Amino acid sequence: MSAPSKQHMEWVASYLARNLAPEEARDAERSITVQAFADFFAAFNPRFDKMRFAEAVRTRSQDGGA
């Protein structure tokens, strides 16, 4: 399995922003679902910033999942 691309990570962040409960998306840094995806990406890239990913999910949820 190849490492997920930046495009994959952006798609997942948008998908989660649209499909998580609003409360969970607003608190993405504590979301177990967001953490699971962040852990998955970090397994392929140890330099992956999990908090930045959670921030992207939260920000996109505020923008309507765009």
Q: Reduce the secondary structure of the chain to three states and give it as a string.
A: CCCCCHHHHHHHHHHHHHHCCHHHHHCHHHCHHHHHHHHHHHHHCCCCCHHHHHHHHHHHHHCCCC
Residue 64 has pLDDT above 80, yes or no: no
pTM score, whole prediction: 0.87
pLDDT band at 66 (very low <50, low <70, confident <90, very high): low
Predicted confidence at residue 1, as pLDDT, reads: 67
Q: Would you list the domain boundaries of the chain?
A: 6-62
